[in-house]
Amino acid sequence: MKLNLIRPLAFFDLETTGVNVGSDRIVEIAILKALPDGTEIIKTMRINPEMPIPLQSSLIHGIYDQDVAEAPTFKQAAHEIADFIGDADLAGYNSNKFDIPVLLEEFMRAGVDFDMSDRKFVDVQNIFHQMEQRTLRAAYKFYCNKDIVNAHSAEADIIATYQVLLAQIEKYQDADFEDKQGNISKPVKNDVDALHQFTNMNKCVDFAGRMVFNDKDQEIFNFGKHKGKTVEQVFDIEPSYYAWMQQGDFPLYTKKKLTEIWQRWNQKKAQNKTQAPQKAQQPNARPGNAYPTPRKEKPAAEVTSDMLEQLKMKFGK
């Protein structure tokens, strides 16, 4: 089966030093780029993470410090990776929650502006979890009736992910899906736009899920004491929350999206100030005159003989 593509779709998988999006680093990246004409190109690179790889991570993916000692750093490889991906849409397994956020963090550290604004994102795990609720190994066995050879190798995993998606489309293209509101549709189609829609149902603002869109397409916090409130509402009542997040251990892309909302919020405040009606003028002020109209003084009282006598007594005259 061949994917129906308008532009390339880049499947990618990362092996990393750990699972913290904000602080862990890539040690291997594999990309399978599926082109509209059916051509498939694979690129695999080891990356020096510039930090020790924890043993528990090495035991999973089999990559140790000595394996990446001579490999390029991500900063050195960033432009090559970005050029290979090009304008392709992105796909992966659990990619929306992990691989895409980690990749964006690495690009931002390297100073590479990897534009995400016009891309589609297909998370194969979301199709699987919503339709069958299992793992990649089980998905490969279930859909392709095969076992993954050399599992937890980035290249083996991404090839398996690609083949699973092809099998999912073939299996579910006429299958009904009922969402939490009871709406029934046939969401799994050989169409990247439809797959993007189905695998991004949570509508995250920042991929890490700290902020999501509500049903009114407003950004809301998805964690902490302000969970469920719109970001702009929180800025209204506690503007210091912005500084707290900027100084906190949040992913760089989360901070970038937060800053965009902060700037938009400040622009609205400035516009509201300029549009506010001018204060009413003081009752005794003249138009165009910054000084109030002087009040008329009362006429001086007539001097009497009694007043003169009192003055003589006071000053001894």
How much of the chain, in percent, has pLDDT values that exceed 90? 69
Domain end position, chosen among 201, 226, 255: 201
Residues 207 and 240 in one domain: yes
pLDDT digits (tens, 9 = 90+) for 47-88: 999 999 999 899 999 999 999 999 999 999 999 999 999 999
In a domain, residue 283? The reply is no
Could you tell me if residue 280 is inside a domain?
no
* Whether residue 98 is found in the same domain as residue 245: no
Tokens of 62: 């089999």
Q: How far apart are CA 280 and CA 289, in angstroms?
A: 14
Same domain, 192 and 209: no
pLDDT tens string 134-186: 788 889 999 999 998 887 789 999 999 999 999 999 999 999 998 877 889 99
Domain boundaries, position 167: 9-201
Domain co-membership, 212 together with 196: no
Q: Residue 290 pLDDT more than 80?
A: no
What does the pLDDT read at residue 298? Answer: 55
Q: Does residue 29 sit in the same domain as residue 44?
A: yes
d(CA 69, CA 211): 37
Closest among 131, 166, 164 to 148, alpha carbons compared: 164
Mean pLDDT for the stretch of residues 104-128:
94
Instruction: Tell me whether residue 89 is in a domain.
Output: yes
pTM: 0.69
> Does 191 lie in the same domain as 208?
no
> Is 147 found in the same domain as 263?
no
Query: Is residue 2 situated within a structural domain?
Result: no
Specify the pLDDT at position 150: 80
What's the CATH code of the domain at 161? 3.30.420.10
When divided into structural domains, the chain yields a total of 2
Place of tokens 């997040």: 245
